[in-house]
Structure formats: C-alpha cells, structure tokens
C-alpha cells in the first residue's frame, strides 16, 4: 500500500506500549506527542479481564496518562454490539470475569444465570465450571444470541501459556454446532468501535500491533493501514498469518514516531 494520509492511530497495548509491567521504548513519548498535537487515537485490546478504568490506572503506573474513554476493550465492544440489538435491561448470561460483568451492567444489561437470557456472552473466565457451560448450553439451545469477546486459544503469561477465551468458546461451539459472533481481533468489530469513539474513518487510520494473526489481520479486515512493531509477539500464527504482510514494520514506537514526523 502506498504511504497513506494517516490522521489517527489504534494501538494494541501489551507488546506495543508495555510488556508485563514495563513500558516499551518510545511508548510514553508517542502518546504524549499525539495528545499534545491533538492527533486522534485509541487503545484496543482483546483482554476482557480489566475495565478501561483499570487499564488507565495500569498505564498511569508506567507513566502513560490515557483517559479511560480512549481505551476500548473487547468487553466494551461487546456491550456496544449488544446495545444495538437488545433492549435496555435485557438479561445476559456471561461466562467471564467481574470486570466484564461491570462493563455489561454499566451498559444497561442485567447479568444473570436465570433461564430468560437473551444472549450468551463468552470471554476469558479463569473460574469457568461445568455448571456454567451447562447453563450457557441451555440458553443457546433456546435461541439466545451467541457472542464472544475474542477467539484467542491461549493466554500468554510469565509462567507460560494458559487456555484462553477461545478454548472456552470451542466447547460451546462444539456442543451447540452454532457459530458465535466474534467481536475482538482478528475480526474488525473492535476496531470499528474504537474508530467511532475516536472520530476516525478507516482510510485515515493506522492499526499498530505486535501480532500478525490478530492485530494486522483485524486492521486489514477493517480496511486500515497496518503497522507491525517488533517489541512483542511477532511470530506468524498459522497459515493465515503467513499470508498477511503489514504495510509498515518498525522496531518500536520510537521508530514509528520518527516515521510519522517525516510525513
């Protein structure tokens, strides 16, 4: 793709702005420059185990001041998707953690295990039980909407890989033979919600991420200019990722800042 008229950015977080609890080179300076020059941007993540407020606090501890309104998690995007399809006060059966529940409740939904759920929402739940899966299966059998935060099969941690939201989702897909609506990356919905928040359009937005199979794939699906940073997980991710090429590759956000300044 030719050099675009990039007017704003979407940034993945872990592996782009920080790794673990450590900020990555150029991250703080990049965000400060964009804020000072009023360049629209938003932060996007598939992770539903923190609220935007919790992410804002995490970033602040690393010296990055980002308003929570600029942080769009997969749970926020799920709530946006459901608001367009369900009435306020609709009952939601959630397989997910307390931060996901708070986001849905703040969006006006009732999170419940009762039988009248209008939607089954699946995210990462590190306390998932057989009973939860059975309740979700029953609700899906009655025709509830089937929505998932993301299809990530594993969750990288400092201690190694753990089952991700996609692993839980796979059990319900297999049991119901139903295909869920996926909101997070590599699907484009999360990015579209973030662009709407930031007042951006696809042809003027760059997606910055460290994973080809999620960040770059989602950016391509949404029609964005795609930028790969080599500070996180850059391994290919299967045959699909091998076919994808970012429009631009940079070592870190320092190099990205220099690229943007030259334009």
Q: What is the pLDDT of residues 78-118, one digit of tens each?
A: 999 999 999 999 999 999 999 999 999 999 999 998 878 99
DSSP string of 161-215, one letter each residue: EEE-HHHHHHHHHHHH--PPEE-STTSSHHHHHHHHHHT--GGGEEEEES-IIII
- Tell me which CATH homologous superfamily contains domain 75-182: HAD superfamily/HAD-like (3.40.50.1000)
pTM: 0.92
Taking phi over 0 as left and psi of -120 to 50 as alpha, with beta for the rest, 63 belongs to: left
What pLDDT tens digit does each residue of the chain (263 aa) get? 445 689 999 999 999 999 888 999 999 999 999 999 999 999 999 999 999 999 999 999 999 999 999 999 999 999 999 999 999 999 999 999 999 999 999 999 999 988 789 999 999 999 999 999 999 999 999 999 999 999 999 887 777 888 999 999 999 999 999 999 999 999 999 999 999 999 999 999 999 999 999 999 999 999 999 999 998 866 444 444 557 899 999 999 999 999 998 87
The residue ranges of DSSP E strands in the chain, in sequence order, are 8-12, 18-19, 22-23, 41-45, 71-73, 91-95, 110-111, 119-122, 145-148, 154-157, 160-163, 181-182, 205-209, 225-229, 248-250
Q: How far apart are CA 46 and CA 183, in angstroms?
A: 9
pLDDT tens digits for range 229-249: 998 866 444 444 557 899 999
Q: Determine the Cα–Cα distance for residues 152 and 154; give it in Å rounded to an integer.
A: 6
Topology classification of domain 8-46+185-262: Rossmann fold (3.40.50)
Please tell me the distance from the alpha carbon of residue 210 to that of residue 15, in angstroms, as a whole number: 6
Q: Do the domains 75-182 and 8-46+185-262 match in fold?
A: yes
Residue 1 tokens read as 């793709």
Number of other CB atoms surrounding residue 213 within 10 Å? 20
Among residues 12, 125, 210, 247, the one annotated as catalytic is 12
Told to judge if 12 belongs to the known catalytic residues of this protein, a careful annotator would answer: yes
Per-domain residue ranges of the chain: 8-46+185-262, 75-182
Neighbour count for residue 181 (Cβ, 10 Å): 16
Spatial strand order of the sheet with 145-148 comes to 110-111, 91-95, 119-122, 145-148, 181-182
For residue 134, how many C-alpha atoms fall within 13 Å in the half-sphere facing its CB? 3
Residue 219, helix vs strand vs coil: helix
């Amino acid at each position: 793709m030719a050099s675009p008229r990039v007017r704003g950015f979407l940034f993945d977080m872990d592996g782009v702005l920080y790794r673990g609890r450590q900020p990555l080179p150029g991250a703080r300076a990049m965000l400060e420059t964009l804020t000072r020059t009023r360049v629209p941007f938003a932060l996007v993540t598939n992770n539903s185990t923190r609220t935007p407020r919790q992410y804002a606090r995490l970033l602040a501890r690393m010296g990055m001041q980002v308003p929570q309104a600029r942080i769009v998690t997969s749970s926020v995007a799920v709530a946006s998707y459901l608001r367009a399809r369900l009435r306020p006060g609709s009952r939601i059966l959630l397989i997910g953690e307390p931060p996901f529940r708070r986001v849905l409740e703040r969006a006006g939904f009732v999170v419940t295990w009762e039988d009248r759920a209008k939607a089954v929402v699946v995210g990462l739940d590190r306390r998932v039980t057989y009973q939860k899966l059975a309740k979700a299966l029953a609700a899906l059998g009655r025709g509830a909407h089937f929505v998932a935060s993301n299809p990530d099969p594993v969750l990288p941690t400092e201690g190694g890989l753990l089952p991700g939201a996609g692993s839980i989702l796979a059990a319900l897909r297999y049991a119901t033979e139903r295909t869920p609506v996926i909101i997070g990356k590599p699907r484009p919905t999360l990015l579209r919600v973030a662009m709407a928040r930031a007042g951006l359009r696809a042809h003027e937005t760059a997606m910055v991420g460290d994973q080809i199979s999620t960040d770059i794939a989602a950016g391509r699906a949404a029609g964005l200019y795609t930028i790969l940073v080599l500070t996180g997980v850059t391994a290919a991710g299967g045959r699909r990722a091998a076919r994808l090429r970012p429009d631009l590759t940079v070592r870190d956000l320092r190099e990205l800042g220099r690229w943007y300044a030259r334009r």
